[in-house]
Amino acid sequence: MNCQVKDELVNQLTALNNKLNLLSPDLVHGDAERAEVQQQRENLYAEIKHHRAKGHEGKPCPAARQV
Ligand SMILES: [Zn+2]
């Protein structure tokens, strides 16, 4: 089963992971930016978890096992 919402959330997560990888530790503001991206990732994880558990009118996502 596919789920567009799940796919979109996972895409966002992938984008954040890529962004995190691109943030060099040498950057002057790298730490603050990394912390911000990591916070966004935490939020996204929580959203994905919630969607998997009851994102479909209170029911589990049919694509949950692919997340
Ligand atoms: Zn879903």
Q: Say if residue 51 is exposed, middle or buried (CB neighbours under 10 Å; 0-12, 13-18, 19+).
A: buried
Instruction: Say how far apart CA 20 and CA 37 lie, in whole Å.
Output: 7
Q: How far is the CA of 19 from the centre of ligand 1 (A)?
A: 25
Q: Quick one: pLDDT band at residue 27, thresholds 50, 70, 90?
A: low
Q: How far is the CA of 67 from the centre of ligand 1 (A)?
A: 10
> Can you give the pTM of this predicted structure?
0.80
Q: Could you tell me the residue ranges of all domains in the chain?
A: 4-18+29-66
Q: Say if residue 42 is exposed, middle or buried (CB neighbours under 10 Å; 0-12, 13-18, 19+).
A: exposed
Q: Check whether 66 has a pLDDT greater than 60.
A: no
SS (H, E, C) 34-46: HHHHHHHHHHHHH
pLDDT at 59: 95
Q: How far is the CA of 44 from the centre of ligand 1 (A)?
A: 14
Q: How far is the CA of 8 from the centre of ligand 1 (A)?
A: 10
Higher pLDDT, 65 or 11: 11
Q: Identity (one letter) of the amino acid at 15?
A: A
